[in-house]
Amino acid sequence: MNATRPQPISSASPSPTPLYRQPGILVTSEAFVVAGRRFPVRDLSNLRTARGPHDRLTMRSVLVTGAILGSVGIALSFSGARLSPTAFLLLGAAAFVPIALVSFGHRMRPRAYELWGDYRGMTVLLFSSDEEREYGQVTRALLRAQEADRMGGMGSPVSNVFSANLYPW
């Protein structure tokens, strides 16, 4: 009779399952690691989303363009010079330059998505990305990790030895 021996249960806990892994970013059911900083999931609370500031170059170019157009308009209004309809049309078209700069600047340098949270009593910036998809994936993984932590670590997969068939058909 050839009986198989049961495998001894190891005392070491299994390594946590990664919920999200990319270069420089790791989210597990136990910790959130980003840019070399490690945040235990159970120490994080009050997670919230914010948007970063506008790009400085975009904002400066809009302010400079707006100031130039404003000064030209004021100078022309006080000069008493009669302008042709073409000049008014050109001034109106020039007024759209700041709008074009803003839209181009937002496309080329979008505002960053920021994940803020409370860590050991302090509000800290946990993660920042200008890619909406990456930000969403990291945020969802961190929320899943918090849910797994609240459930007592039951968020990790159950071993096949103890799994049951949930679908009877």
* pLDDT, tens only, 10-20: 545 567 789 99
- Range of weakest confidence among 7-21, 31-45, 67-81, 136-150: 7-21
pLDDT at 133 exceeding the cut of 70: yes
Specify whether the CB–CB gap between 157 and 28 falls below 8 A. Answer: no
Bridge partner residues of 20 (DSSP) = 27
pLDDT at 142 exceeding the cut of 80: yes
Mean of per-residue pLDDT scores for the chain? 79
pLDDT > 90: what percent of the chain?
Answer: 39
pLDDT at residue number 49: 94
Beta-carbon contacts of residue 154 (< 8 Å; ≥ 6 apart): 148
**Closest residue by Cα to residue 13 from 164, 153, 160, 161:** 153
User: Does 28 or 96 have the greater pLDDT score?
Assistant: 28
**Closest residue by Cα to residue 52 from 143, 114, 100:** 114
Phi/psi of residue 136, nearest 5 degrees: -65, -40
CB atoms inside a 10 Å sphere around CB 94: 14
pLDDT at residue number 25: 95
Specify whether the CB–CB gap between 155 and 28 falls below 8 A. Answer: no
Specify whether the CB–CB gap between 73 and 87 falls below 8 A. Answer: no
Bridge partner residues of 45 (DSSP) = 118
CA distance 131 to 25: 14
Give the DSSP H or E segment for 138: helix 132-150
Q: What is the mean pLDDT of residues 88-115?
A: 80
- Range of weakest confidence among 24-28, 45-49, 75-79, 132-136: 75-79
User: Does 91 or 44 have the greater pLDDT score?
Assistant: 44
Give the sheet arrangement for strand 113-119, strand by strand: 44-51, 113-119, 122-129
CA distance 48 to 63: 31
Query: pLDDT-based confidence at 85, cuts 50/70/90?
Result: confident
